Amino acid sequence: MNTPLLINNTGKMQAWSESARSRGLRLGIVPTMGKLHEGHLSLVRVAASSCDRVLVSIFVNPTQFGPGEDYEKYPRCLEADLNALAGEGVSVCFAPSVAEMYPHGQADNLTVEWGKKALCGAGRPGHFDGVTSVVSRLYNAMQPHVAVYGQKDAQQALIIRRMTESMLFPVKTVLGAIVRERDGLAMSSRNIYLDPAERERALTLSRALTRVGESLRAGERDPGRLQSIGNGALSGIDGVEPEYFVVVDPATLAPHENKVDGLLLIACAAKLGKTRLIDNHVYRIQGDDVRESMLF
């Protein structure tokens, strides 16, 4: 059980990657905010499948949290995270301080306009600017060939892929599937915030998504009706405050015009008490054929 090399310093991180790359090694990174769970570990395995070395970053990024969000209380448990990574064949854990990641403060930024105001962006203005600003810094610090993200953060993955293409980063964006608890709840570092009653009600999200998936399989193709079904399933439950439920084309994050076809992202967000959760299903639809799919 080899614990990864812990690096806190950007210069050391760059020197490590430069040395590995100059020996022809292919580097895959898994950017995380820590409090690692089975979902993160599955991304490590995805990275390992196409890379010679896997690096995990752990950084609770202040610029992607809004005022009143959970930046302060977000779980930080580096030692447990390093233990979770032991035995996964991870070479490096990059865990920089805020000052190390933002040496000149937080004003200089990389922003991607595409998609940033839709879905989660409506309720979290500035969130995706924070994401692209930290991911671009992580790419510069870690110099990966491949970066792996969870499909649970579908909008984030689409925006990061867009950023990568738009800014010409020589990095391949790769997705890992959502990992769920036995009862269907999507794994999330924020699930630890839930008390037992909230944990039970949290299933409302995955059940609403499943309900829409069933309608799809039963032949429903009307975007508005599918969205109504989802909204209905997410609403009217005590202790569950829906934020959005959308049925959209991942190419535009807007609904298909007349009937859903091709790739379909069904995504929702809701608050359980003070805890905001998100979840999604992705399908590929071809005529009568409806299959769960990766976003890309």
- Of 35, 40, 137, 256, the one binding its own copies by CB under 8 A: 137
The SS3 call for residue 28 is strand
> Which two three-digit tokens encode residue 142?
């870690």
Angle at which helices 154-166 and 127-142 pack, to 10 degrees?
60
Decide: residue 239, CB within 10 A, 0-12 exposed, 13-18 middle, 19+ buried. middle
> Which two three-digit tokens encode residue 245?
């439920």
Q: Which is nearer to its own copies, 103 or 224 (CB)?
A: 103
The yes or no reply on residue 23 touching its own copies (CB under 8 A) is: yes
The yes or no reply on residue 168 touching its own copies (CB under 8 A) is: yes
- Of 3, 6, 80, 103, the one binding its own copies by CB under 8 A: 103
The yes or no reply on residue 98 touching its own copies (CB under 8 A) is: no
Q: Which of 234, 260, 232 is nearest to 247 (CA)?
A: 260
> Which two three-digit tokens encode residue 59?
């950084």
- Segment near its own copies (CB under 8 A); pick from 47-55, 140-148, 173-181, 194-202: 140-148
- Determine the residue type at 144: P
The yes or no reply on residue 167 touching its own copies (CB under 8 A) is: yes
Shortest separation between residue 10's beta carbon and its own copies, angstroms: 5
Q: How far apart are CA 193 and CA 190, in angstroms?
A: 6
Shortest separation between residue 294's beta carbon and its own copies, angstroms: 21
Q: Which residue has the tokens 């399933």?
A: 233
- Of 111, 183, 224, 251, the one binding its own copies by CB under 8 A: 111
Q: Which of 201, 255, 196 is nearest to 233 (CA)?
A: 201
40 is catalytic: yes
User: Could you list the active site residues?
Assistant: 40
Q: Summarize as ranges the residues that interact with its own copies (CB under 8 A).
A: 10, 14, 18, 21-24, 101-104, 107-114, 136-137, 140-141, 143, 162-163, 165-170
